[in-house]
Structure 1
Amino acid sequence: MSTELLINVTPQETRIALVENGVLQEVFIERTRRLGLVGNIYQGRVSRVLPGMEAAFVDIGLDRAAFLHASDLRDLHKDDTPPSTETPAPQPIGALLKEGQHLLVQVVKDPLGTKGARLTTHLTVPSRYLVLVPGGSSIGVSTRIEDEDERERLRSMVEELVASICDEQHGFIVRTVAEGVQPEALRRDMYYLRTLWQTVRERAGSAVHGERVYSDLPLMLRVLRDLASHEVDKIRVDSRENLAIVNDFAARYVPDMASRIEHYAGERPIFDLYGVEDEIQKALERKVQLKSGGHVVFDQTEAMTTVDVNTGAFVGHRNLEETILKTNLEAAQAVARQLRLRNLGGIIIIDFIDMRDDEHKHQVMRALEKALERDHARTQVLEVSSLGLVEMTRKRTRESLEHVLCEPCPTCTGRGSLKTSETVCYELFREILREARQFEAREVLVLASQSVVDRLLDEESASLAELQEFINRPVRLQVEGLYTQEQFDVVPL
């Protein structure tokens, strides 16, 4: 499989596309005016404790207070108590936090919609191959490394390095890209993380609340650190200035990738050359066409995302069951790709076309799970429910592509539909009656959109005449070009 990372940089934003076999799989966007916060560490101050929710709001210097749940709160008094073999009962958040208390917190989710950032006190600092867990004691290995011998080799190496390098207690997590690396690479990472954490602690010691004491790398370098692996064949950067930054970072932290980085100097924009712009536009649409003629419809709401699979124009060649199976198998691949591309997270409900054959259901589920294996976000998929639905979750840490690039429609305010002109006319008639009964006036002036006025003068002209006769006063119509179809005003004169 051919895999390429395309990096498009302008002063306003950085965009990175992950392309596999010429097909866009993921896109990352970071704008200068709205940088991501995930991974940043702040000196926070508890502004409000909510015992009923087992949570607290913490001021970290943002417009909205950030949210800290009790499950994300490390017991700050744990080190003062003697060790016990019994599992301690969870303490209420009121016993752990007080309003005005200062604590070091890390952002695990960017602000999403009307919600503030999500925080944790379980701090982590990542590098290329390792993740430092300050104050931790365990050594973990990424579950994506499946070979047990390799897992044990990595765990043993890290344990030896911790004993020789770290002069205080820390835990470490071995990342997926560490598979097959030599001890020297892990040693460099551990020295780097130890020094970095010492710097963070020094900054935190003198920081005031709301001050950032650690920032994760910018998007361009973060993607290079996290996604660049032996599977990536080429990294193309369209900015000569940023090419130097990428090369310098690669030489220091990802030396095996240095030879695969190149400058794109073509006249045609790099995203146009690979068709990325068109794919981004398609990812903002509800309907995704399948090659067979079927289609998949995505509806994103605040609570969850629903995915509906339809045969559409595909009529098949053999029988109904085979037609349904082929459509569902194709849809499973498309859904997995679109979840990555659109960066949809949280609860996701997939309504595949109903299948009677249990073997067909099994094939579709395996196809979906296999397609999700390449997803860098953590996913969990349940079996087909009794209603024929597939429930799954996908970890969400940043805004979806739609929320980054779009805003709610000012006309429908995000509903996705408008009242018909007929409905508005009948609402208008009721309002005229209210105004006529409440006020003594010579006439009534109606201000409305062009479509509503046209309907009042055409299809509803007889009804309007009856209404004028009933209230015994004329109704004058006036078009307001700035009004939406749902807006109108009734003014007694």
Structure 2
Amino acid sequence: MSVELLMNITPSETRVALIEGGTLQELHIERQASKGIVGNIYKGKVSRVLPGMQAAFVDIGLEKAAFLHASDIIPHTETLPQTEKAKFKVADISELVRQGQDIMVQVVKDPLGTKGARLTTDITVPSRYLVFMPGSPHVGVSQRIESAKERLRLKLITQSCLGDLGGFIIRTAAEGAPENELVNDAAFLLRLWRKVLTRKQRTNTKNKLLYRDLGLEFRIIRDFVGSEIERVRIDSKLTFAELKEFSKDFVPELRNKIEYYPGESPIFDLFDVENEVQRALDRKVELKSGGYLIIDQTEAMTTVDINTGAFVGHRNLEETIFNTNIEATQAIARQLRLRNLGGIIILDFIDMKSAEHRRRVFTSLEQALAKDRVKTNINDFSPLGLIEMTRKRTQESLEHLFCTDCVECNGRGYVKTVETVCYEVLREILRVNRAYNVEKFVVYTSVAVAEALLGDESHNLGELILFMSKEVDVHAEPLYGQEQFDVVMI
């Protein structure tokens, strides 16, 4: 099955689509406005030591000095037993740092209000399966990996990758991972840390940043090291050049697979990605046979209900139900990945009398979920005919990312956020501009979206106007709903 990545890069957001066999399977989104600095590593300078607070303020090049508490200046203890950890006592801050001292730190909490960022010297750098711990000679294994045999296998593989730079923690996601992927992860982290150390020697007083937690496009490339990706297509020349350089240093096995996409039509039109994303926000998912799924997200869990719908089959009712359930297993696995649903998930399959049919449906679901890179746990059919499962939360679901509570229905439904509609308007203008030779555009949209386009999002609209060298007028229509807009050519 062909596998490729499509990257749509704009100043306001980055979107990455994973395509398998010509069908959208995963969508990853990162918006510039919501990016933080957690995970960034800086070469800071202690600007003030406060013994009374057992803390110090550190200048890392931000508007406000960052905060470093004495308890955050500790050696790596992640791999030690509790009895050993208890021996480490927090020393007096005056014994740990002094004013004017250079110190390497990592951000663990973003600045908030009048408070600066929270720092630690206990630096860790994560990858897909491993976490690198500079200066630590140990290899630790996540406690959530329960199999003693698997823990030993993972530890032996990772110990063979140890050098003099530090040790590793094996993450829960590494359970069952092939040896070559673990080795690739370790090699990536060691190359990355050598780069950090080189920058530390060259860092001047103005630029204190040693390592920025990777942007989405780079994290995706990192996480797919060793996977069966055939090619990566990017619609931004700048990002293409950056990724080629990044892959040269850190993931050379993917370097020749990265391509620039110069096409006139938007890159997400190649596999109907935009329409697939819109369909991923619907409650109802149609099956090819005529059956359908109903997917509902609640605060506590996500429920999936399977129905035969218009599918009547060709033999008998039991066979019709079985075939619908089998088809539903593939659709469910895809929807969980595409919508990025996590937490507790309840699957309400159509009742089956045959134990053999239940066994085959459960096996089909297990096989379909095996393709998911996010960890899942599945329980067999309950006495009520339900399958209970969990899927690790990695980020917000599409519904929570794209939608907000609807003020029209007091939270009983969802509408797209003003920000999301603004980006759709900008993409539609760009799409029409590529397709037709026009001099001016007029956008009719809701009052809230119009205010955003002329206010908070005016810089994005302005960049688009400069890029096209065309005029764009925005008109607010009081009767338009929040998701409604029209782009008129003049």
Task: Verify same fold: TM over 0.5.
Answer: yes
**1:251-262 equivalence runs, <5 A:** 251-262=248-259
Q: CA deviation at 1:189?
A: 3.6
% identical equivalent positions: 47
| Residue in 1 that maps onto 2:164 | 165
Letter of the structure 2 residue corresponding to residue 415 of structure 1: R
Aligned counterparts of 1:140 and 1:254: Cα–Cα separation in 2: 24
Aligned counterparts of 2:179 and 2:348: Cα–Cα separation in 1: 37
| Residue in 2 that maps onto 1:377 | 374
For the residue of structure 2 that corresponds to 1:303, the secondary structure is: coil
Letter of the structure 2 residue corresponding to residue 259 of structure 1: N
Structure 1 pair 266–183 and aligned structure 2 pair: CA distance change class (3 A): closer
Deviations 1:94-151 (A, max 9, x none): x99xxxxxx977479xxxxxxxxxx99996412577531455732559999x9x99x8
Q: Does 1:366 align with 2:367?
A: no
**1:43-442 equivalence runs, <5 A:** 106=108, 124-127=124-127, 130-133=130-133, 135=136, 137-140=138-141, 152=153, 155-156=155-156, 158-162=158-162, 164-166=163-165, 170-173=167-170, 179-180=179-180, 186=186, 189-190=189-190, 192-193=192-193, 196=196, 215-416=212-413
Asked whether the equivalents of residues 125 and 132 of structure 1 are also in contact (C-alpha less than 8 Å), the reply is yes
Q: CA deviation at 1:188?
A: 6.4
Aligned counterparts of 1:264 and 1:307: Cα–Cα separation in 2: 37
Q: CA deviation at 1:173?
A: 3.1
For the residue of structure 1 that corresponds to 2:390, the secondary structure is: strand
Aligned counterparts of 1:366 and 1:3: Cα–Cα separation in 2: 24
Unaligned runs of 5+ in 2: 45-70, 91-104, 111-118, 415-477, 482-490
| Residue in 2 that maps onto 1:455 | none
Q: CA deviation at 1:269?
A: 0.7
Aligned counterparts of 1:25 and 1:317: Cα–Cα separation in 2: 31
Aligned counterparts of 2:74 and 2:320: Cα–Cα separation in 1: 61
For the residue of structure 1 that corresponds to 2:335, the secondary structure is: helix
Asked whether the equivalents of residues 30 and 36 of structure 1 are also in contact (C-alpha less than 8 Å), the reply is no
Structure 1 pair 177–242 and aligned structure 2 pair: CA distance change class (3 A): farther
Aligned counterparts of 1:78 and 1:256: Cα–Cα separation in 2: 34
Asked whether the equivalents of residues 305 and 349 of structure 2 are also in contact (C-alpha less than 8 Å), the reply is yes
Aligned counterparts of 1:184 and 1:309: Cα–Cα separation in 2: 40
Letter of the structure 1 residue corresponding to residue 168 of structure 2: G
Q: CA deviation at 1:339?
A: 0.6
Aligned counterparts of 2:82 and 2:344: Cα–Cα separation in 1: 37
Asked whether the equivalents of residues 293 and 306 of structure 2 are also in contact (C-alpha less than 8 Å), the reply is yes
Letter of the structure 2 residue corresponding to residue 272 of structure 1: D
Asked whether the equivalents of residues 16 and 29 of structure 1 are also in contact (C-alpha less than 8 Å), the reply is yes
Letter of the structure 1 residue corresponding to residue 9 of structure 2: V
Aligned counterparts of 2:85 and 2:237: Cα–Cα separation in 1: 56
For the residue of structure 2 that corresponds to 1:383, the secondary structure is: coil
Structure 1 pair 155–8 and aligned structure 2 pair: CA distance change class (3 A): same
For the residue of structure 2 that corresponds to 1:165, the secondary structure is: coil
Asked whether the equivalents of residues 280 and 339 of structure 2 are also in contact (C-alpha less than 8 Å), the reply is yes
Q: CA deviation at 1:241?
A: 1.5
Aligned counterparts of 1:365 and 1:121: Cα–Cα separation in 2: 47
Structure 1 pair 364–399 and aligned structure 2 pair: CA distance change class (3 A): same
Deviations 1:370-409 (A, max 9, x none): 1111111111111111111111111113111111111111
Asked whether the equivalents of residues 292 and 308 of structure 2 are also in contact (C-alpha less than 8 Å), the reply is yes
Structure 1 pair 279–218 and aligned structure 2 pair: CA distance change class (3 A): same
Q: Does 1:29 align with 2:26?
A: no
Asked whether the equivalents of residues 41 and 213 of structure 1 are also in contact (C-alpha less than 8 Å), the reply is yes
Structure 1 pair 120–408 and aligned structure 2 pair: CA distance change class (3 A): farther
Q: CA deviation at 1:307?
A: 0.7
For the residue of structure 2 that corresponds to 1:392, the secondary structure is: strand
After superposition, the CA RMSD in angstroms is: 4.9
Q: CA deviation at 1:25?
A: 0.1
Once structures 1 and 2 are overlaid, which stretch shifts more, 281-290 or 244-253?
Answer: 244-253
| Residue in 1 that maps onto 2:461 | none
Structure 1 pair 161–30 and aligned structure 2 pair: CA distance change class (3 A): closer
Letter of the structure 1 residue corresponding to residue 139 of structure 2: S
Structure 1 pair 368–411 and aligned structure 2 pair: CA distance change class (3 A): same
Deviations 1:286-306 (A, max 9, x none): 000000100000111111111
- Report the structure number with the largest CA radius of gyration: 1
Unaligned runs of 5+ in 1: 44-73, 90-94, 97-102, 109-118, 418-480, 485-493
Q: CA deviation at 1:271?
A: 0.5
For the residue of structure 2 that corresponds to 1:369, the secondary structure is: helix
Asked whether the equivalents of residues 9 and 238 of structure 1 are also in contact (C-alpha less than 8 Å), the reply is yes
| Residue in 2 that maps onto 1:15 | 15
Structure 1 pair 132–412 and aligned structure 2 pair: CA distance change class (3 A): same
Q: CA deviation at 1:360?
A: 1.0
Asked whether the equivalents of residues 30 and 219 of structure 1 are also in contact (C-alpha less than 8 Å), the reply is yes
| Residue in 1 that maps onto 2:419 | none
Asked whether the equivalents of residues 130 and 186 of structure 2 are also in contact (C-alpha less than 8 Å), the reply is yes
Asked whether the equivalents of residues 75 and 122 of structure 2 are also in contact (C-alpha less than 8 Å), the reply is no
Aligned counterparts of 1:404 and 1:311: Cα–Cα separation in 2: 31
Structure 1 pair 267–362 and aligned structure 2 pair: CA distance change class (3 A): same
Structure 1 pair 35–177 and aligned structure 2 pair: CA distance change class (3 A): farther
Letter of the structure 2 residue corresponding to residue 361 of structure 1: R
Aligned counterparts of 2:333 and 2:185: Cα–Cα separation in 1: 33
Deviations 1:315-358 (A, max 9, x none): 11111111111111111110110011001111111111111111
For the residue of structure 1 that corresponds to 2:168, the secondary structure is: strand
Deviations 1:64-109 (A, max 9, x none): xxxxxxxxxx9999989xx9897999xxxxx99xxxxxx977479x
Q: CA deviation at 1:180?
A: 3.0
Structure 1 pair 20–256 and aligned structure 2 pair: CA distance change class (3 A): same
Letter of the structure 1 residue corresponding to residue 261 of structure 2: Y
Aligned counterparts of 2:294 and 2:338: Cα–Cα separation in 1: 15
Aligned counterparts of 1:29 and 1:20: Cα–Cα separation in 2: 18
For the residue of structure 2 that corresponds to 1:407, the secondary structure is: strand
Structure 1 pair 298–247 and aligned structure 2 pair: CA distance change class (3 A): same
Asked whether the equivalents of residues 128 and 253 of structure 1 are also in contact (C-alpha less than 8 Å), the reply is no
Aligned counterparts of 1:384 and 1:120: Cα–Cα separation in 2: 46
Asked whether the equivalents of residues 351 and 390 of structure 1 are also in contact (C-alpha less than 8 Å), the reply is yes
Under a length normalisation based on structure 1, what TM-score does the superposition of the two structures give? Answer: 0.61
For the residue of structure 2 that corresponds to 1:376, the secondary structure is: coil
Structure 1 pair 191–257 and aligned structure 2 pair: CA distance change class (3 A): closer
